[in-house]
Amino acid sequence: MLFFLARRLLAAVPTLLAVLTLVFVIVRIVPGDPALVILGDQATPDAAAALRAKLGTDRPLWDQYAGFMGRALTGDIGTSMVTGRPIAAEIAAVLPHTLDLTLAAMVFGILLGLPAGIWAALHRNRAIDVAARLLSLLGLSFPVFVSGIFLLLAFALHWRIFPVIGSADLADPLDRLHKLLLPAMTLGLVMAAYITRVTRSAMLQSLGEDFIRTARAKGVPHRRIVWVHGLRNASLPIVTVVGLYVGILLGNSVLTEIVFNRPGLGKLIVGALNQRDYTMLQGLMVIYCVLIVAVNTATDLLYGVLDPRVRAA
Amino acid sequence: MSEPLLEVEGLRKHFVTTKGLLRRRRVTVRAVEDVSFAIGAGEAFGLVGESGCGKSTAARALLRLIEPDAGGVRWRGEDVLAARGARLKALRRRMQIIFQDPYSALDPRQRIGAALTEPMRVHAIASGAEARRRAAALLDEVGLPPAVLDRYPHEFSGGQRQRIGIARALTLEPELIVADEPVSALDVSVQAQVLLLLRELRRRRGLAFLFVSHDLSVVRWFCDRVAVMYLGRIVEEGPAARVLAQPLHPYAQMLRDASPVPDPARRGTLPRIRGEIPSAAAPPPGCPFHPRCPQAIARCTGSLPRWTALPAGQGGVACHLHG
Amino acid sequence: MRADGAASLTWIGGLLCLAVLLAALLAPWIAPFDPAEQSILDRLQPPGGDHWLGTDQFGRDILSRLLWGARISLTVSLGAIGLAMVVGGTIGLVSGYIGGRLDLFTMQVMDVLLSFPSLILGLIVVALLGPDLVNLVIAIALTAIAPFARIARAPTLSLKERAFVEAGRALGYSHARILFGHILPNILPEVLVMATLWLATAVRVEASLAFVGLGPKPPTPTWGGMTRDGFETILDAPWLAVFPGLAILLLVLGLNMVGDGLRDATDPKLRHE
């Protein structure tokens, strides 16, 4: 097990390097001069040259790449072009809000999606199943900002159950939770829809396997078959989807944070977009990469826990 | 046999695969180790052996469907392995192949008519209405009506598909057909019909055949000469009647004894095949057959038996007992 | 309601998509007002009356803007998915056919691309390129190339082992002929089903980008942009955000229903269940 753990952690290193390289490529692949894009109308030759020197885009490409990778791997992701503050500090200040939101959405998605998927699988092709299918299709068709607005209108403006604005005092857990619920529901809805669908098909597949039939024949109670034998075997695809979906959650958290006016990486990224804070964008991409690689590695490790065959491979 | 149509000399094909993630091991599968034979014009040459002995790989390597690692292949004296581009394309016209699995041999999204006329267009033999007329004639030759032209492969049975596959192989008017287990995937009831068709085509068109099969009775019925392969090597070769009735090599004897015998009185008293075929990834030293050979002697574990020619066109054998 | 319940979902989805397509095609003729025409007197009219779906803060007719907005949504999404399908599909096809190290490398690059959330990738690429229509198409296409490469590669790997590919080589066909004349037609159904599902994602990403402010410049009506504008006056005039939001939802839902139904119909594994 320890060997498996070490191997998986080691395997994350090349992935991280590759993703960071992708960030570098995406930022540099843009046709034209970033300095001119950033300066826009105020571009004078002097200002552009000064900005190029500041950004380092006047240096040769390999030099820029080496510098970028070196700094990113040592945790230095630069300073904001606009505020002049270290990007890491800006991110650290809002990261808890985004992590709160993402985790809460994940929990919500699992709590709603898992039972719904199992339920649909057990009532295959009947009204419940078709309804679950339609509802889950509806759920995953919602752009998050649309579901956010609808939920906001219903729960915060019409029924006034939840506050409109989601910015919470981190030190006050109750306040934090209260203001988290509505955004987490918004973000978790789409995830719940995905989990419902995957759980349904994974359960159907798992319940059709020979060992389930054997268990039935041996007289194992139905409840135990479904919850213990069926679900254990359906867990791998479900974990895969949850792991994959964290990336989408992070993407959608941007929209959720705008709708609920919550602080977080999303607000930071939109602010950086509007102010053309080029270094901040790059720093944020690095952070997203690290988060995603971390989640993928965690998913891989979870595989090992769930399935002994993966450990041996 | 004056000038052979096809000469194969020392053909070799190894497959290298890597296994394991961190500690990578290279595993070499010696599918074809050393294979030599020749086929004359109009001759039917059989290649027999158990599955995994490399007979299909050898057939594919001489057609350049996979690139052999070593050896030589000559078509009427011309070097097949060195041919490139237009030369290779011209050689492909001379040699065609019929596959074991008629279900995967036809493109599921292509109508039979298109499947038969496409090769003619590619080789500028015929196009348009003329190509279609030729396709219909070929279908007639394999016993199918012209209406087949507008149908898709899934509308046909295995036997019908095999006939279509044969018609396609004939579109380029080849002189040699490599038949890779052409009937072993078919129902027993259709096997005979397809075999009769192949023999009829051979007679009418003067086709030469390389007939790859594990079924000795089929080979004996269809072929003039036979080579027996074991672990990537030919262990015995000669006229079909001689090799399949009075084989010299213990392995060939074992194959003969294991194949179904029409005489019920002899059934059940024969030694069955002993042991498993060793992995081609780790062939035993010496004669590759010695671990399974009932007549093995001391020499067999030490050295590879040389090829010994038999007198009066009776072929040859690679065995220490006959060296 | 048994299995045919699922089939009728596909039809409902098809009708939704068709409705949006017709709206986009016929917008110049069926829109009751000029979508850009401002009128101070008619500001923030609630739904009903002359303006069926009300007016926005500039007095522009919401219904007309929605009809015209359908054009942007569909043009950008279809363009992006078309581009992603051609580029990604070719990458997957060629990579799977050639195999070996090249294939391993290509697929690793695609995996890295795939691990990036499409919204963030789109956000950053549009931000760097500038939000005009062509750049939107390129950015959204970039987020969908990797999945198309994967979906094209997997069946290519198994198809190239089939005897008809070997037969093509024996018959002297070129690799290009085998690849595009024989393997491509066999993987096309899967790729097209995938395209429907990704079209839904593309519509969502396009709307999300516009909502964040990365859409075509203001006078052009886009559903995401209209939602964004409406969101600013959500307390006084919630319909401004609700109607375009609903439009996006219905189009995405319709595409998902069609894609889902098609996938079930073409997936042999599901059919034999």
Structural domains of chain C in order of their starting residue, each with its CATH number:
2-271 (1.10.3720.10)
Helix (H, G, I), strand (E, B) or coil at C78: helix
In a domain, residue A175? The reply is yes
How far the first Cα of chain C sits from its last, in Å, is 18
Distance from chain centroid for Cα C266: 20
Q: What percent of chain C has pLDDT over 70?
A: 95
Q: What is the pLDDT of residues A266-289, one digit of tens each?
A: 888 888 887 777 788 888 888 888
Instruction: Decide: C164 and B106 in contact? Cβ < 8 Å.
Output: yes
- Residues of chain C positioned with their CB less than 8 A from the CB of B171: 171
In a domain, residue A268? The reply is yes
State which residue of chain A sits closest to C234, comparing Cα positions.
A153
Residue A135 CA: distances (Å) to CA of A91, A204, B76, B275, C165: 36, 19, 70, 60, 43
Suggest the residue from C164, C178, C180, C186 to mutate for an interface test with chain B (most B CBs closer than 10 A): C164
pLDDT given at position C2: 42
- Given a cut of 80, is residue C270 above it in pLDDT? no
The pair of structure tokens assigned to B11 is 């053909």
The pair of structure tokens assigned to A260 is 């609920």
Instruction: Decide: B279 and B311 in contact? Cβ < 8 Å.
Output: no
Residue A111 binned pLDDT confidence (cut-offs 50, 70, 90):
very high
Q: Which helix (H) or strand (E) element contains residue B210?
A: strand B208-213
Vertex C70: Cα angle to C66 and C74 (nearest 5): 165
The set of chains that have 3 or more CB pairs under 8 A with B is A, C
In a domain, residue A168? The reply is yes
Q: What is the mean pLDDT of residues B13-22?
A: 73
Q: Using the beta-carbon criterion (under 8 Å), do C213 and A273 form an inter-chain contact?
A: yes
Which residue in the set C113, C207, C234 is minimally distant from A22, CB to CB?
C113
**What CA dihedral angle connects A14, A18, A21 and A27, to 10 degrees?**
-150
Indicate the residue type of B22. Answer: L
Cα–Cα distance between C24 and C12 in angstroms, integer?
19
Residue A204 binned pLDDT confidence (cut-offs 50, 70, 90):
confident
State which residue of chain C sits closest to A270, comparing Cα positions.
C212
The pair of structure tokens assigned to A158 is 């019409």
Q: What is the pLDDT of residues C219-250, one digit of tens each?
A: 788 898 889 888 888 878 888 888 999 999 99
Q: Which helix (H) or strand (E) element contains residue B95?
A: strand B95-98
- Residues of chain B positioned with their CB less than 8 A from the CB of C171: 92, 96, 118-119, 122, 168, 171-172
- Residues of chain A positioned with their CB less than 8 A from the CB of C238: 153, 157
Q: Using the beta-carbon criterion (under 8 Å), do C212 and A138 form an inter-chain contact?
A: no
pLDDT given at position C272: 39
State which residue of chain B sits closest to A4, comparing Cα positions.
B22
Residue B104 forms contact with C (CB below 8 Å): yes
Q: What percent of chain C has pLDDT over 90?
A: 41
pLDDT given at position A202: 87
Residue A145 forms contact with C (CB below 8 Å): yes
Closest CA to C230 of C47, C39, C74: C47
In a domain, residue A85? The reply is no
Indicate the residue type of C256. Answer: N
Q: What is the pLDDT of residues A232-276, one digit of tens each?
A: 778 888 888 888 788 888 888 989 998 888 888 888 888 888 777
Which residue in the set A15, A125, A270 is minimally distant from C212, CB to CB?
A270
Q: What's A253's domain CATH number? A: 1.10.3720.10
Helices and strands, number each (H, E), in chain A = 14, 0
Assign residue A75 a region (left: φ > 0; alpha: ψ between -120 and 50; beta: otherwise). Answer: left
Q: Using the beta-carbon criterion (under 8 Å), do B97 and C170 form an inter-chain contact?
A: yes
Report, in this order, helix, strand and coil percent for chain A, each rounded to 5: 80, 0, 20
Place of tokens 């059934």: B267
pLDDT given at position A1: 66
**What CA dihedral angle connects A6, A9, A15 and A21, to 10 degrees?**
-110
Closest CA to A270 of C171, C209, B71, B221: C209
Please count the residue pairs, one from chain B and one from chain C, whose beta carbons lie less than 8 angstroms apart.
58
Place of tokens 């009831």: B189
Q: Using the beta-carbon criterion (under 8 Å), do B122 and C166 form an inter-chain contact?
A: no
Q: Supply φ then ψ for residue B180, to 5 degrees.
A: -95, 100
**What CA dihedral angle connects C211, C261, A193 and A303, to 10 degrees?**
-110
- Residues of chain B positioned with their CB less than 8 A from the CB of A312: none
Report, in this order, helix, strand and coil percent for chain C, each rounded to 5: 75, 0, 20
Distance from CA of A313 to the nearest CA of B (A): 8
Can you give the residue range of the structural domain that contains A225?
A: 94-274
**Which residues 6+ apart lie within 8 Å of A294 measured at CB?**
A12
Cα–Cα distance between A186 and C74 in angstroms, integer?
26
In a domain, residue A109? The reply is yes
In a domain, residue A183? The reply is yes
Which residue in the set A30, A34, A146 is minimally distant from C227, CB to CB?
A146
Residue C208 CB burial class (10 angstroms; 0-12, 13-18, ≥19): buried
- Residues of chain A positioned with their CB less than 8 A from the CB of C237: none
- Helix intervals (H) in B171-259: 188-205, 216-222, 240-245, 250-258
Which residue in the set C169, C172, C182 is minimally distant from B107, CB to CB?
C182
Which residue in the set C113, C127, C211 is minimally distant from A255, CB to CB?
C211
Closest CA to B195 of B224, B166, B172, B170: B166
- Residues of chain A positioned with their CB less than 8 A from the CB of B22: 7
Closest CA to C206 of C138, C146, C145: C138
Number of domains in chain A: 1
Cα–Cα distance between A255 and A86 in angstroms, integer?
25
Instruction: Decide: C97 and C179 in contact? Cβ < 8 Å.
Output: yes
Q: What is the mean pLDDT of residues B286-308?
A: 87
Instruction: Decide: B44 and B209 in contact? Cβ < 8 Å.
Output: yes
Enter the pTM of the model. Answer: 0.85
In a domain, residue A80? The reply is no
In a domain, residue A297? The reply is no
State which residue of chain A sits closest to C230, comparing Cα positions.
A149
Q: What is the mean pLDDT of residues A106-118?
A: 91
Residue B168 forms contact with C (CB below 8 Å): yes
- Given a cut of 70, is residue C268 above it in pLDDT? no
pLDDT given at position B22: 55
- Residues of chain B positioned with their CB less than 8 A from the CB of A313: 21
State which residue of chain C sits closest to A257, comparing Cα positions.
C212
